Structure 1
Amino acid sequence: MSSRWRRLATLLALTLIALTLWELLSWPGNDPGRGAVGEPTPEASASASPTASPTSTEPPTATAEAGPPTTALPPTTVWRPGPGEPQAEIKQTATAFIETAGTWIGAVGAAATLRSKGVGPDVAATATALEAPDAVSSTVRVIYPQYGGVTADRAAVMVLFEQQLQTAQGATTIRQMALDVRLTQVAGGSWQAEEIRPLTSLGSSVPLSEAAQAVLAEPRLELSAPARLDVSSGRMDDRLLRVLLGLAENWVLTVQVMHTGHIQTVYPTERVSNHAVGRAVDIRAVDRQPVIDPATSREMLIELAARAGELGATEVGAPFDLNGDRSGFFTDVVHQDHLHVGITPGKQPATR
């Protein structure tokens, strides 16, 4: 055989060897990123089995449901405390309870979801406000959890959140709610949600006053949906609404709650709150800067609080006290995350 043919034979043999090796390496079972054929990697197994508990800050993530084609809901987001939050673990426990109760598929509902996470039936039953007729899946996004009251071993947190619901036909709706979550401290110092208080109402709607119409139309008053519902009922006190309109001349106010979703008493007493009778409002941000954030101008908040008194507010709760032992302005741990503005008939406006 000539040297030319020997070279061609050698080249052909090498080519056959290379093709055989390529096929072997390309076989699915030999993929270094997989185990045996059809077997997920350890990382994939872990991600396929999410866990959550109602006292954890990690709620379960909704997955797609079998049935008619639908648009998947966005996953439930987990609320994280920002700068300046006092006793943040209390708020994290309250928001985790809402996040867990509001994350379900297959028409399971909030109460059954909580029971599946080990929550007692009596506690779980208080979460039915997060259920809705015809809804087969739900996710939530907490907007802000505001303190309603704190003692050494008990607390109330008013959680404002958005809930996205989906029907079996794929129709989605978004609603915004504020719920009063009660908590207690358990052995070891951790906190546990014990109930969601039932929603209350100011009563049937009445014709709107000029002040109510002006508040609803004022773009510098950013009302939560529960607060807008209260003003739309016509039953919020006009004196309070005029204070809000006066403040809106100088600042953009983000309103957390008025009546709906607010604790109805002055925690921990049984004394009726001005919120319960439509005479108080809680403001969580000024010019879109959170009241709780240490970076928010203290001078601006002081100026606003003083102006509220000038406009007729008889009580102004804030992260600071402008008049010491005198009535009017006040502060405590509950009012580090918002400005409370209220009116009590017969009392003098707050003054420095």
Structure 2
Amino acid sequence: QPPPPEPPQPYEPLAAEPLPNLKLAAARFAEALLTYPVGASSRDVVAAALGAAPATSSIAAVARVAAPLFPPGAGSQGRVIYPQFGGLQPLGPAARRASIMVVVEQRLVPDSGEPRSVTRTMDVRLRVDGGKWKAWSLYSAGGTEIPRPAGLPAHAARVLDDRRIELADTARWDVHAGLIDERVLRTMSAVAERLAISVAVLRTGHPYNVFGEKGRVSSHTVGRAVDVWAVDGIPVVEQARRGTPPWKVVGRLLDTRRVTQVGSPFDRDPPPPNSRSFSDTVHSDHIHIGVGPRRRR
């Protein structure tokens, strides 16, 4: 029997991150949730990941959401690819509640057979407790596998097959299911013609509502948005300067009529009501690209 694989390197925040301790707490929770031996109890793994003797009800609630992370007959190793902001409340460095969308690789090692890897986007919820950020819930484990169907529309197949578009499996399953607006997919392909992009989330794994705003459904929830966390292999948060590839991407997006929302480290067009771009702490680490509702004919 081959020796077990080396454990992945734990995540460490980038120097440019505006809230490094928040990102670190989300990453440590994800790593703990995705690292367990064959036969481990999901409830025991969840309890250890939450830490500090969580309530039984909290363990049960997280274990229900985390069920796709625990296939029978396999152990797991987790690696954090990138933890992206999903929302802050209040908005800014003084936030005390947060959603972090953690893009992870889960390496599943079965009792028998070959190991396989799945990449997911998980919606981890955190709050400040005793002066420290702590994970308290999981709102999405990144969905369940949806095989690629035959006869996908050309614009969907183009995105899935483009080596310059890095997608987590969670995002691929959204495309397989036909959940993403054609205009979003066409925009992704257009951006990738010039620069490689790494996508954190399309629909699954994003908060249902704009974080902290009850009743305001996110554009992601209705399949009309994509978040890009890296351009040309470099995190957006490390390129928050004029003239960088993300700066140029934002400029080109604002020249595209179908794009109605561009959130990023840059605010590049006039103030409201004519503005389509915006910038805040949440969008300091990615480019959010959204399209509006389709007009009725």
TM normalised by structure 1 equals 0.72
Q: Displacement, 1:295? A: 7.5
1:290 corresponds to: 235
Instruction: Kindly report which structure 2 residues correspond to 1:194-343, keeping only aligned pairs within 5 A, or say none.
Output: 194-199=136-141, 208-270=152-214, 271-294=216-239, 298-311=243-256, 312-326=258-272, 327-343=275-291
275 and 269 in structure 1: CA distance in 2 versus 1, 3 angstrom threshold: same
The whole-number CA distance in structure 1 between the counterparts of 2:209 and 2:141 is 13
**Which one is further off, 246-255 or 91-100?**
246-255
2:97 corresponds to: 154
99 and 236 in structure 1: CA distance in 2 versus 1, 3 angstrom threshold: same
210 and 298 in structure 1: CA distance in 2 versus 1, 3 angstrom threshold: same
One-letter code aligned to 1:181: V
Find the structure with the greater CA-based Rg: 1
325 and 346 in structure 1: CA distance in 2 versus 1, 3 angstrom threshold: farther
Contact 1:76 1:103 in 2 (8 A): no
The whole-number CA distance in structure 1 between the counterparts of 2:132 and 2:22 is 9
Q: Which has the higher helix share?
A: 1
Contact 1:141 1:161 in 2 (8 A): yes
Q: Displacement, 1:294? A: 4.3
The whole-number CA distance in structure 2 between the counterparts of 1:229 and 1:133 is 21
One-letter code aligned to 2:248: E
Q: Displacement, 1:273? A: 0.8
Q: Displacement, 1:119? A: 4.2
Instruction: Kindly report which structure 2 residues correspond to 1:115-126, keeping only aligned pairs within 5 A, or say none.
Output: 115-116=47-48, 117-120=51-54, 121-125=56-60, 126=62
**Which one is further off, 283-292 or 101-110?**
101-110
Q: What percentage of aligned pairs have identical amino acids?
A: 35
Q: Displacement, 1:83? A: 2.3
Instruction: Kindly report which structure 2 residues correspond to 1:89-108, keeping only aligned pairs within 5 A, or say none.
Output: 89-108=21-40
Deviations 1:17-46 (A, max 9, x none): xxxxxxxxxxxxxxxxxxxxxxxxxxxxxx
Q: Displacement, 1:261? A: 1.3
2:73 corresponds to: 134
Deviations 1:80-116 (A, max 9, x none): 0112101111111111111112222241144312425
**Which one is further off, 86-95 or 103-112?**
103-112
One-letter code aligned to 1:338: H
1:144 corresponds to: 82
Which secondary structure state, in structure 1, belongs to the residue aligned with residue 204 of structure 2?
A: coil
Contact 2:120 2:142 in 1 (8 A): no
| Residue from 180, 186, 191 that aligns with 2:123 | 180
107 and 73 in structure 1: CA distance in 2 versus 1, 3 angstrom threshold: farther
Unpaired stretches in structure 1, ≥5 consecutive residues: 1-68, 348-352
Unpaired stretches in structure 2, ≥5 consecutive residues: 90-94
133 and 73 in structure 1: CA distance in 2 versus 1, 3 angstrom threshold: same
One-letter code aligned to 1:191: W
Alignment RMSD: 2.5
The whole-number CA distance in structure 2 between the counterparts of 1:192 and 1:112 is 18
Which secondary structure state, in structure 1, belongs to the residue aligned with residue 140 of structure 2?
A: coil
Structure with higher RCO (Cα < 8 A, 6+ apart): 2
Deviations 1:261-310 (A, max 9, x none): 12221111121111111110011111112101147764432221121132
Q: Displacement, 1:79? A: 0.5
The whole-number CA distance in structure 2 between the counterparts of 1:278 and 1:295 is 27
One-letter code aligned to 2:233: R
The whole-number CA distance in structure 2 between the counterparts of 1:192 and 1:79 is 16
1:79 corresponds to: 11
